[in-house]
Amino acid sequence: MGMSKAEFNFTTPISREEALKFHPMTLAFIGDAVQSLYARTRISLSSSSKTGVLHKEVTKVVKAVAQARVAEVLLPEFDEVEADVFRRARNCQIQTSAKHADRSEYRRASGFEAVLGFHYITGNNERLFYILEKCFEENK
């Protein structure tokens, strides 16, 4: 009953140019939802555990500290556009903070989520799934 990738695509992709016009925190908002849905789907389809256990597994991957760690690993691999999206979101003035992350981790996590959101709305599923899978590899 295992699954290596969750296939989903709810949007008609928009151009990279159009996606870059979005506010970086809007991209992060979308990216957060994409990662959460991906992690919940992947973990749920590979386990018969109760939802409380599933939730604990999901939060290992979808939390600011884990996202910041993966961002640091992936940063050298980012192309110029990904690095720009990441930097713009990381540098935004953020009013809230994560419970278990310091401010710099939270900012890097926002940058990471923005990159996910960017790839999702542009329909770059191959790169999106690569990054999403890195989260699981890095947070085992």
Determine contact, residues 35/116, Cβ cutoff 8 Å.
Answer: yes
Q: Which candidate in 32, 79, 84, 102 is catalytic?
A: 32
Tokens found for residue 21: 């016009």
- Within 10 angstroms of residue 113's Cβ, the number of other Cβ atoms is 28
The separation between CA 34 and the C-alpha centre of its own chain, rounded to angstroms, equals: 7
Cα 80 from Cα 134, distance rounded (Å): 19
Query: Is 79 a residue of the active site?
Result: no
* DSSP run (H or E) holding 112: helix 103-121
Give the sign of the dihedral formed by CA 57, CA 88, CA 14, CA 77.
Answer: negative
State the catalytic residues. Answer: 32
